[in-house]
Structure 1
Amino acid sequence: MQPEPLSGPLAAQALQQFRAGSPLVHCMTNDVVQTFTANVLLALGASPAMVIDKEEAAQFSARADALLINLGTLTQESLRAMRAAVLSARCADKPWLLDPVAVGGLTLRTEFARELLALRPTAIRGNASEIMALAGESGGGRGVDSTIEVCEALPAARSLAKTWGTVVAVSGETDYLTDGERAISVHGGHPIMTRVVGTGCALSAVMAACCALPGSVLTNAAAACAWMARAGEHAEAKSAGPGSFIPAFLDALWHLNQESLI
């Protein structure tokens, strides 16, 4: 199964739907990236909300258009709130995305991530090491960083997608997404995106929002990757380094349009 490149017109169409719908995204994400994640969603036209109390999280996830579960700064308290939010989202038939940050290297998050798999995430996004670890395979990981190439994780991604009926995205120099049958590749971005905190976590939030759009979850999730990659390229060209990259990146997302995607 060779991945097919995402077409520009499909990415542009998804962006138009995204901005028209302005999805409300319940972000249960790590403490380090909350502000950046919210700003990325706002720049693209979505509405972010960070609701973390267990009772409120369960109530809100049923009202939001999509839910993001990011395990970056997992605690026992946040674990219980995340579980409640996922169960509520499932009962309300709302899409949710799992970002298994640093799974494989630490016991609590690894066991919890595998528990969440049984609750059938609409999509999963991680780096190659995280996806391989989530699939029960050995992979090289160093905290949130991957030490293996995306291509090495493709069989694990396909297996996860088929087993759990989900879309799996493996992030890297080229992003790879699969539903177990089809596969899409998205190339682009810039290495500087790995030198600022939060681009991967923010991509997960955007991808979660895209799961609420009409049409193919696989195609819409791939569109999220394309938007972030293209904005990263535009921002790098206008910035002098990581410090100036972040505002340039938010501006690039704000100005993203059909012409820049096709």
Structure 2
Amino acid sequence: MTSSTPGKHLASMRDATPLVQCITNYVAMNVAANVLLAAGASPAMVHSVEEAGEFAAFAGALTINMGTVSPDWADGMKSAADSAAAAGRPWVLDPVAHMATSYRRKVVTELLDLRPTVIRGNASEILALGGGNSSARGVDTKDDVAAAEDVARQLALSRQCIVAVTGRTDFVTDGTRTAHIDGGSAWMPRVTALGCSLTCLVGAYAAVEPDAFTATTAALAHFAVAGELAERDVSGPGSFAVAFLDALASVDGRTLDDKARVRLS
């Protein structure tokens, strides 16, 4: 992918309407489902251990978010990730506040051992996951994306996956290639579950584009452009949330190519 062609990946994703299994938190379920539907994918919120593994074997992609993890949900997450990997399906890990408690640290270690295709988190989460220093303890980031870039590269190399650090300027790497994506809106952090929903959108693109670096970069570009378009005529986070869904749906390939600000190296 060049910096000017994320639009073709958007078109491919919409043509395929991929089925994305989203194991996400209670807060994010409705928002994430609406984001995927607006973008052009098909969400399925399947998390129970009794069916999560079976479902992951035929879904286009799997996304796992640790936001409201519990023992039962963790078992479903691990079953789904193991099944997705065995079936050759891409899966995306969102290690929400993994550093906050000993239980979360245990679960994220077990999930990492199941070889995620993509890890997407904020700067504090990625810093802590890669062994760097972070002052954050909860879900909110206390660090800048730039501070996590070197750690993200090393994490990508050691785990042989794509690492995406999202914030004011997003950063994506496979350890060698890198992408910076500018855009979005200052309202986005004021609307709950948008980061969780972005993880699901990465899954939608990865279900269709075999190169996970390209898929992740295109998904983040789509999100960033929609955020910029949505904030034009809104007065606050409530109206932004509605406008953002509309913008995700209205962005087409040409608009995405024209407005995406992606810098590759």
Q: Distance in 1 between matches of 2:239 and 2:255?
A: 21
Q: Residues 180-212 of structure 1, C-alpha deviation per residue, up to 9 Å, x if partnerless?
A: 111011000011100010110010000012112
Aligned to 1:7: 3
Deviates more, 1:103-112 or 1:166-175: 103-112
Query: Which residue identity lines up with residue 64 of structure 1 in the other structure?
Result: A
Q: Give 2:171's match in structure 1, choosing from 161, 168, 176.
A: 176
Root mean square deviation, CA, Å: 1.3
Match of 2:187, SS state, is helix
**Equivalent in the alignment of 2:262:** none
| Cα contact 2:10–2:205 (8 A) shared by 1 | no
Secondary structure class of the residue paired with 1:147: coil
CA positional deviation for 1:215: 4.1
Q: 1:88 offset after TM fit, Å?
A: 1.0
Hey, what's the Cα distance between the residues in 2 that align with 1:73 and 1:129?
A: 18
Consecutive unaligned residues in structure 2, runs of 5 or more: 259-265
CA distance in 2 between partners of 1:189 and 1:69 (Å): 23
1:19-73: per-residue Cα shift (whole Å, max 9, x none)? 0111100000000010010000000110000012101111101110000010000
Q: Tell me which residue corresponds to 2:21.
A: 26
* Alignment partner, residue 236 of structure 2: 241
Q: Deviations over 1:215-262 (max 9, x none)?
A: 421111011111111111111112111111111111001100123222
Q: After the TM superposition, which residues 76-87 of structure 1 pair with which residues of structure 2 at under 5 Å, given as runs?
A: 76-87=71-82
Is the CA contact 1:170–1:176 (under 8 Å) kept in the aligned structure 2?
A: yes
> Aligned residue for 2:63?
68
Confirm whether residue 97 of structure 1 aligns to residue 92 of structure 2: yes
Task: Report if the CA contact (8 A) 1:174-1:187 is conserved.
Answer: yes
What secondary structure is seen at the aligned counterpart in 2 of 1:145? coil
When normalised by structure 2's length, the TM-score is 0.94
SS in 1 for 2:92: strand
The alpha carbon displacement at 1:6 in A equals 6.0
What secondary structure is seen at the aligned counterpart in 1 of 2:100?
coil
Q: Check whether the contact 2:31–2:193 (CA below 8 A) recurs between aligned residues.
A: yes
- Alignment match, 1:115: 110
Unmatched segments (≥5 aa) in structure 1: none
Shift of 1:108: 1.2
Matches within 5 A, 1:1-262: 7-9=3-5, 11-261=6-256, 262=258
Count of aligned residue pairs for this structure pair: 257
8 Å CA contact 2:119–2:161 kept in 1: the answer is yes
